[in-house]
Every structure is written in C-alpha cells, then in structure tokens.
Amino acid sequence: MNPAPAVNSLKSNINDSGKHSFMLPDFSPDIAEICGIHAGDGYLRNEGYQRELDISGNIDEKEYYDSHVVPLFERVFGISITAKIFPARQTYGFVIRDRKIVEFMHSLGFPYGEKTYDVSVPEFIMNSRNLDVIYSFIRGVFDTDGCLTFQKRTGSGYKSEVKKKHAYPVIQLGVCSKNLSHGLYSLFRKTGFNCKTGIRKPTTENESVQYVLYLRGYSTLENWMHNIGFKNTSKSSRYEVWTKFGFCPTHLSFKQRSQILNNELDPNSFYPVGP
C-alpha cells in the first residue's frame, strides 16, 4: 500500500496581523475516510449564520464513534469533540459548528441540506492514484452505510456446512444516490475488486429506489480485510465470529455477537439440531 502523506490539521493559528488563519488539510487518507463517513452519516447545514457539520449513526455504533470517528475528526481538524445521543432521532454522534470546517467539506463537493440523492464521490478521490486514499474513502462509506453478511448456499456444488449455516461472505451497500453508486463501482474496478450491481425497488410509498453494490466470496473478503478492513466494531464483530467458528448467524445484535466472541453464547444454538 502507498504511504500516507502527512496531514495538516485545520486548526486555528495567529498570523502576523493578529487574526486567525487556517491550514487546510492535505488530501490524505484521513480526509478521504472523513469524506466516506460524511457520505454515509453526515449532513451539512447552512441556514443564515448557522453552519454545521452533523455526523451521527445508529446508537449501536457508539463504540465505533467513540474509539474511531471522534478521534479521527479531532486529529485531522485539531478540535475537541464531545459525542452524544440525539434522542429525537435515536442516533449517536456530534455536531461541528466551525465555519471553516463546514465550508471546507462543502468545497469538496458535498451539498448543503439533503444529500441522500445527490451525494457523490469527491473529485480528488476519483482522480487519486493513491490506493490508501481510495481504500480509506470506501472504508468510511461502508463502515457507516454498508454491511457484511454471511449467507447459506444452495446447490450440489457447495459443502454441507455452507448449506446449513451462514458461511458465505457478502459485502454490500445500498444507496439512493446513483452518482455515489457509480463512483464507488468505478473505484472498485480501479482497484481490482469484483463488484456487482443491482437495483432494489421500493416496497412501500415511503421507500426510494436503492442502487446496490455487492462483493461476494471468500477471496474477495480476504482482499477486503487486507486492504480496506472495518473500523466499525459492530461490523468487524461479524467477521470475527465467522473467523472463529466458520459461520456467523444472521439477525444478531452487536451484544449477541460480543457474547459469542466471549464464549458466553453458542452460535450453534441459532440452528436446528439434526441432519
């Protein structure tokens, strides 16, 4: 993997005139990962004099935010962040109200307001030849909006354990933005990943069309973990269960997977006994 360039923090400095100046970060892997996290869990607000960068995810991802997301943003932007629960929307995260940081994120192509259908991969990432930059963006998106699952397989060509238990790895992401989907697909092709695409049609009036990316198979997962990996402990716990037992039951909570990894819960108990 290519070495990561040094990161300048976007923290305030006093210049010769006595006014504050700011150093913009380099286009580093850290910035790329922040962009990926924002593409998944972020929101830019520009209302009058109010400038905000809002980053929040599922409450179950508190450990991921506390151990990785908050320190990452603090290190890159040179600020102090306190994460919290937002009761009204049942999410966990933080809000940054530094005007320069908000404007910097906007300058990378992220829109103010609703971004669900308009977000795309920033140009500096699409044009990058640094694999660490590309991989970091992908990791940020998938840590926030993607998932790792394990499926049963059918057919005569599969081993019995793959037919009976959830052992076949599938990494997937569904987004409402066609631009983001197309951009990610291009990045996967650029880096040699075998990625498939599909469309998930809405089943209710409140749902939207989703553009889905699939990466399947054992060698693909091995390649993913070697080059990209997961920083989100809720997602990496699935991989850890699979590595330890050769399968990972579906529809488990993060707490249940933690209990399995601590030998407090038997993963075989989620399957019927018998042939």
pLDDT in tens, the chain (275 residues): 443 433 344 444 333 333 334 455 568 999 999 999 999 999 999 987 789 999 999 999 999 999 999 999 999 999 999 999 999 999 999 999 999 999 999 999 999 998 888 999 999 999 999 999 999 999 999 999 999 999 998 766 666 667 889 999 999 999 999 999 999 999 999 999 999 999 999 888 888 999 999 999 999 999 999 999 999 999 999 999 999 999 999 999 999 999 999 999 999 999 988 65
Tell me how far apart the alpha carbons of residues 79 and 55 are, in angstroms, rounded to a whole number.
15
On whether residue 17 sits in a domain, the answer given is no
8 is a domain residue:
no
Q: Which of 7, 6, 72, 79 is nearest to 41 (CA)?
A: 72
Is 94 part of a structural domain of the chain? yes
Q: Which helix (H) or strand (E) holds 233?
A: helix 233-245
Residue 17 is predicted with a pLDDT of: 36
Task: Specify the DSSP element, H or E, that contains 147.
Answer: strand 147-151
For 12, phi then psi, to 5°, come to -75, 140
**Structural domain count, the chain:** 1
Q: How far apart are CA 149 and CA 173, in angstroms?
A: 11
Residue 211 lies in a domain: yes
In a domain, 1, yes or no: no
Domain that holds residue 233: 25-262
Residue 48 falls inside a structural domain: yes
Is 4 a member of any domain? no
Please give the pLDDT value at position 165. 93
> Per DSSP, what are the bridge partners of residue 170?
149, 216
- The set of residues, in sequence order, having a beta carbon less than 8 Å from that of 105 and lying 6+ positions away, is 35, 38, 42, 44, 53
With respect to residue 90, please indicate whether it lies within any of the assigned structural domains. yes
pTM: 0.88
pLDDT of residue 215: 98
The pair of structure tokens assigned to 174 is 């569904």
End-to-end Cα, the chain, rounded Å:
45
Q: What is the CATH number of the domain that holds 57?
A: 3.10.28.10
